[in-house]
A and B are shown apart, each in its own frame.
Chain A
Amino acid sequence: MIQKLAKSTLLGVVLFFGGCGGDNAYDGTNLVGGNPSSVQGDVLASIQKNILLNNATTLVENLNEVQSTLNSFEQNLSSAEVQSLQSDFVNIIENWKKVEAIYVASEYDSALRTMPINMDFFNKGKNFDVATNIDYVLGLNGSLQTAQVKKTTKTVTGIEYLLFANQASIEEMKALINQDSQKRLEIMKLAVANVYDNALLIQAFYKEDVKFISNVEDTLNILVNTLVQSTFDLRELRIGEAAGFIFKTKDDPKAERLEYFRSKKSLEAIKAILLAHQEVMGQQSFENLASFASSNGADAVVKKIQANLSNALAIVGEFSTPLQNGITPASVDTKIKRLYDEITDLQKNYFESLINALELTPDIIEADGD
């Protein structure tokens, strides 16, 4: 009897403490974590609209324009037209890199998980396949069979090879495009159409999704994880690997490992990624992660991140020639090392903000013996 009484009273006491925990409840005030509130929801809505959706929409518009340009050609292309197509390509990679840098859609929709590799094939060894496949298809007689155009070709990587070959001059490129009844343009249409379709899916997701704003804690974690991942890709794959700064390629610089070696647009891609980070973490006219974190006690680390981003962009601005000119087997431009180091520091500061947000308070119980 007394045991039973004890048990039920015990339960009662536990429930009592559970009920009056308001004062001790976790008070999340940092970059990540914390309790959902409408203010935080507004920040996420702002990020979704002003960054995620906006970048995806710009990409869709770019691709749309390129599609109509490609369909408008009725005779041989002029040098100016080739040049204009090439600058359209730069627009595409700039916006695609922005979308890719903060690509959070994969976390919410499993169908969108493989999207980045549906869109381009950097550093998966496939960019070489792409050239081989395109050359193979171009060499075939008769009409173009879409089946022979590999999936990997129908990507940004494919478009790059179709428009720049192996660093061909404008005149060479013009000749290549105009030969064989402009077969190159036909393949390009397939590639652009595929990238466009995928970009549409991403845009549609950001337009309609409600999951991104619904769980603040999860979303903030996803955003930070994505920024960290993007920083590593930027540092290791897009700079370090080519410059011989990482373990795998230590002291073996090779410009060919750069992301857009054929078009010499690697620096533009890097700049676009940094700008995407700045949209999330810089001072903007709209609410973003930086404004949210700053007003939640993480101002110091936000400032450090902002400084990293503007320093890195300033270094990018110092280049007057393509990035690959600075990488030869014998030497690497010191600007590249500075950029690499700045991004290393950026990554450190992202980790710092991530760790601060965990609120690992010194637990005094633990500071005592027993």
Chain B
Amino acid sequence: MFDYLTFDYFFDVNQRIYYGYVMMAFFIAFVFFRKSLKKQFSREVLWHKSARLDYLYFIVSGVLKVAIILPLLIGVNEVTLWVVLRLNEYFGYISRIRVSKEILLLSYTLVLFAVSDLSRYWLHRLMHSVPILWRFHRVHHSAEVLNPLTFYRVHPLENILFGLRYVLVTGVITAIYIYFFGAGIRAVEFLGANILVFVFSMIGSNLRHSHIPLSYGVKLEKWFISPLQHQLHHTKIYTHRNFGSYLAIWDRWFGTLTLGKAKSSKILDFGLPIKERERVTHSLLGAFLNPFIKGIKL
């Protein structure tokens, strides 16, 4: 239980704010964006009402996750077992296909990463396009200044949806691999994190929610979502663009990609889309209840 308390997030390599990732982000900002870094640590950003809600929210939602959300989620092991048994039932048992361990682990790592990323793209896109889901996702977009903890400013219902997505995707992919290849499936890891997640987290995942406009350049941004591209997603203008997490290919294929490089980083004005014309009060209660009761201000 203690593992999940929010303080431990800093020492968990599977957390976005693992101290290594944060230090790396800080390092990148320090070397390349000295001026923006100053802004990030200025009082107007650091102590903005929006940021203060992020800090509070981080602690409260951490407790909520342990107390309510995790127990609610069906386990990934259960899903995997269920799918393995159904595969055997409907398609019959097949003798294990023999492939080298290296190929097996590498392909599993890649497939899991890619399918996971694709499912996040679509769930995120649905959070925007389905009106009832948007009511919940607005909590995240109501942030008017960004910092790494804004990542956790997500309504508990959205946590549940993303948690389910994770369980289903991991369960189904793992089950398919077990069906064809047997025991011993695992992702290539570094310090205990999927190596691809680790790499992407090292190159600035924490800058996605920040005022550090790190762009990858026109060419790379067609393949990978840069922090600047996600910052655009948080602006009042480009809210419904760049739904991707790590890979930009989904946004490119499904027509929602906006390159960061081409846009001036000066236009970064974060918050709910202009047409919603809503004054956000950044209250904790509002964040939890506004999706249900419109009268309670976000």
Contact = CB atoms under 8 A, between A and B. Distances in A.
B93 A236 contact: yes
Contacts of B15: 364-365
B77 A356 contact: yes
Interface stretch (A2-10, A76-84, A87-95, A316-324): A2-10
Chain B: interface size category: 35 or more
A23 interface: yes
Interface stretch (A205-213, A220-228, A288-296): A220-228
Nearest to A6: B31
B245 interface: yes
B16 A365 contact: yes
Interface string B5-28: 000010111111000100110010
A74 interface: no
B152 interface: yes
Given A9-B27, A17-B20, A369 B137 contact: yes
Contacts of B282: none
B92 interface: yes
Interface string A339-370: 00000000010011011111111111111111
Interface string A225-265: 10011001000100000000001000000000000000000
A14 interface: yes
A355 B84 contact: yes
Given A18-B191, A365-B14, 4 more contacts: A224-B183, A351-B84, A362-B166, A364-B65
Contacts of B189: 26
A300 interface: no
B138 to A, nearest CB: 12
A140 interface: no
B116 interface: yes
**7 nearest A-B residue pairs (beta carbon):** A221-B184, A366-B166, A367-B163, A225-B182, A21-B191, A221-B183, A224-B183
A111 interface: no
Nearest to B177: A358
B77 A370 contact: no
Given A6-B31, A365-B15, A360 B174 contact: yes
A331 B41 CA distance: 80
A236 B88 CA distance: 11
Contacts of A282: none
A24 B191 contact: yes
B214 interface: no
Contact of B174 (A355, A364, A367): A355
Interface of A: 2, 5-6, 9-10, 13-14, 17-18, 21, 23-26, 32-33, 217-218, 220-222, 224-225, 228-229, 232, 236, 247, 348, 351-352, 354-370
A155 B165 CA distance: 52
A236 B89 CA distance: 11
Contacts of B161: 369
Nearest to A363: B14
Contact of A358 (B16, B186, B230): B186
B178 A354 contact: yes
A352 B81 contact: yes
B101 to A, nearest CB: 7
Nearest to A221: B184
A361 B123 CA distance: 21
A277 to B, nearest CB: 16
A368 B16 contact: yes
Interface in B166-207: 166-167, 170, 174, 178, 182-186, 189-192, 197, 202
Interface string B89-100: 000110110000
Given A348-B85, A369-B140, A24 B4 contact: no
Contacts of A13: 23-24, 27
B211 interface: no
Contacts of A32: 183-184
13 contacts: A23-B11, A24-B13, A228-B183, A354-B178, A354-B182, A360-B77, A360-B80, A364-B4, A364-B14, A368-B152, A369-B124, A369-B159, A369-B161
Interface in B216-249: 230, 245
A225 B183 contact: yes
A344 to B, nearest CB: 9
B127 interface: yes
Interface string B255-294: 0000000000000000000000000000000000000000
Given A32-B184, A348-B81, A370 B166 contact: no
B120 A370 contact: yes
Contacts of B167: 362
Nearest to B151: A368
B8 to A, nearest CB: 10
B162 A369 contact: yes
B184 A25 contact: no
Given A355-B84, A367-B162, A33 B191 contact: no
B217 to A, nearest CB: 14
Contacts of A356: 77
Interface in B65-119: 65, 69-70, 73, 75-77, 80-81, 84-85, 92-93, 95-96, 101, 116
B77 A355 contact: yes
A10 to B, nearest CB: 7
Nearest to B245: A370
B159 A367 contact: yes
Nearest to B4: A364
Which of B69, B167, B182, B189 has the most chain A CB atoms closer than 10 A to its own CB?
A: B182
Nearest to B120: A370
